[in-house]
Structure 1
Amino acid sequence: MKLDVITLDGGKGEAVELSDEIFGLEPRADILHRVVRWQRARAQAGTHKVKTRSETSYSSKKIYRQKGTGNARHGDRNAPIFRKGGIYKGPVPRSHAHDLPKKIRKLGLKYALSAKAAEGKIVVIDAAELPEAKTRALAGKLKDLGWKRALVIDGAEVQENFARAAANIEGIDVLPSMGANVMDILKRDTLVLTKAGVEALEARLK
C-alpha cells in the first residue's frame, strides 16, 4: 500500500510504502474489543471502599440483654442489619487488570492500524517538528489540513516543541511509537504517522 507523504505546511513529498502485514489486514472486531477491555481494566483505579462492622463508629456495647425482651438477639449496632452499620462483603481496593497474551495485543494493534487504513484515515507526514513551541502556529497548520480529532504518532521520541504546542489543542494527541495503542487509535478520526513513526511501528510489529 502506497501513501503520499505531506508536510505540515501542506506540501507534498515522496510516497511511502506501508506493509500489508500491518496496514492491510481485515480487522476483527472481537480482537479489538478484547484489547480495549484489557486497556480500560488496567486504567481503572479500583479505589472503591466501604466500611466493615469493625470500622464503623458505633459503640461495641450490646444494645440490650440477650433474653426476655421479645426481640431478636443482637450484639452491637455495627452489624450489617442496622442502618449505618458495617457493610457485609462490600468492595475493597483492588486491581481490575487481567492478563491478555502479547500475541493478541500485537494483533489488536495491527487490526487498529488496518482499520484506519481501510477507512482512508491514515495520513503520513514528513516530520512532526516545529522551530518554536507556538500553539497558535500549529493550530493554524492543523486547521488548514482539516485535522480536528487526530492522533499523531512519531518515532522513538516526539520533538519537544511539537509536543508542547500540541498539548494545548483540544482533540489532538501526540505519542511516540512505543506509546501507540488500540484505544487511542480508534477514538480519533485521523491517524497521522510521521515517516519515522511508520518505520518504528513496522519494526515493532513485524
Structure 2
Amino acid sequence: MKVKVQSLDGGKPGKDIELSDEVFGVEPRADILHRVVTWQLEKRRGTARGARERSDVARTGKKFGRQKGGGTARHGDRRAPIFVGGGKAHGPRVRDFNPSLNKKVRMLGLRMALSSKARDGNLVVVDSLDVKEAKTKALKERLGTLGLGRTALVIDGDALSVGFALASSNLREINLMPAVGANVYDILNHDTLVLTRAAVEKLEARFNG
C-alpha cells in the first residue's frame, strides 16, 4: 500500500512510502478490537483500598458482659462495627482488575486498528514533526492544510520533537506519543492518525522483529 508523504513545515513533500500489508493491510474484526479495548480499559482501573471488616480486626473475642441482667445489648465481642476500633461493616474490598489477554491477540488488535485507519483514509504520513517555529497558531494553521479530522493522534519515533510538543501542548484536539506507546484504544478514539516516517519504521519493526 502506497501512501503520499506530506511535509509539515510547508516544504516539498517527500516520496511516497510503501506500507507493509502485514501491518496496515489487515482486515479489521470488531470482536478482536472489542476484546483489546476492553482489556485496556479494565487494566487502567484502580482498586479501592480495602477496609478491615469484623473478622480482620485484632481485638478480643471474649464476651465482655453478661447475657442477661446488664441492662445493655447482648454483645459478644468488641470487634462489632458499632464500637470504636471495631471492624467496618460492608467496607470496600480489594478487587482484581488485572485481566489477561494473549500477546498474539493484543498485537493482532493493534495491526487491525492501524489497518482500519489506512482503509478508511484517516491515515496521514508526514516526513517529520520538525517545525520552523514552535508557535501554536502557526502549527494549527499548518495542521489545517493536512485535512485532519476533529481529533488527531500524532505518533513519532523514539524521540519526540520538542518544538512540535511545545506548539501542540495547547491544542486539545492533538495528542502526541512515541511509537512505543501506540495502542488500540487511543488509535480508535481519534478521528485521524498521523504517523511520521520514523513511526512507520518502528511500528513495522515491532511486528517483524
Q: TM-score range by the shorter chain?
A: 0.7 to 0.9
Aligned with 2:157 (options 150, 155, 159): 155
The TM-score, its normalising length taken from structure 2, stands at 0.81
Identify the match of residue 180 of structure 2 among 178, 192, 195.
178
Q: Residue 143 of structure 2 aligns to a residue in which SS?
A: helix
Contact residue 116 and residue 122 of structure 1 kept, 8 A: yes
Which residue matches 2:167? 165
Report the equivalent of 1:7. Answer: 7
Q: Residue 113 of structure 1 corresponds to which residue in structure 2?
A: 114
For residue 64 of structure 1, report the CA deviation from its aligned partner. 7.1
Q: State how far apart, in whole Å, the 2-side matches of 1:111 and 1:47 are.
A: 34
How far apart, CA to CA, are the structure 2 residues paired with 1:97 and 1:168? 34
Counterpart residue type for residue 128 of structure 1: L
Q: Is the 8 A contact 1:50 1:87 kept in 2?
A: no
Secondary structure of the 1:191 match is strand
Aligned residue among 196, 199, 204 for 1:197: 199
CA contact (8 A) 1:127 1:194 kept: yes
Q: CA deviation at 1:52?
A: 2.4
Match of 1:103 in 2: 104
What amino acid is the match of 1:149? T
What is the identity, as a one-letter code, of the residue corresponding to 1:111?
A: M
Please identify, of 193-202 and 10-19, the stretch whose mean Cα deviation from structure 2 is larger: 10-19
Q: Which runs of 5+ in 1 are unaligned?
A: none
For 1:152, what is the secondary structure of its paired residue?
Answer: strand
Q: Is the 8 A contact 2:154 2:175 kept in 1?
A: yes
How many pairs were matched up? 201
Q: CA deviation at 1:13?
A: 2.7
| Aligned equivalents of 2:96, 2:163: Cα separation in 1 | 36
Tell me the secondary structure at the aligned position of residue 180 of structure 2.
helix
In structure 2, the partner of 1:135 is 136
Would you say the 8 A contact 1:55–1:86 is kept in 2?
Answer: no
Equivalent position SS for 2:145: helix
Q: Percent identity?
A: 53
- Look up the equivalent residue of 1:115 and give its one-letter code: S
1:188 maps to what in 2? 190
How far off its partner does 1:125 sit?
A: 0.7
TM-score where L is the length of structure 1:
0.82
Query: Aligned Cα RMSD in Å?
Result: 3.1
Does the CA-based 8 Å contact 2:51-2:91 persist in structure 1?
A: no
Q: CA deviation at 1:108?
A: 1.0
Secondary structure of the corresponding residue to residue 192 of structure 1: strand
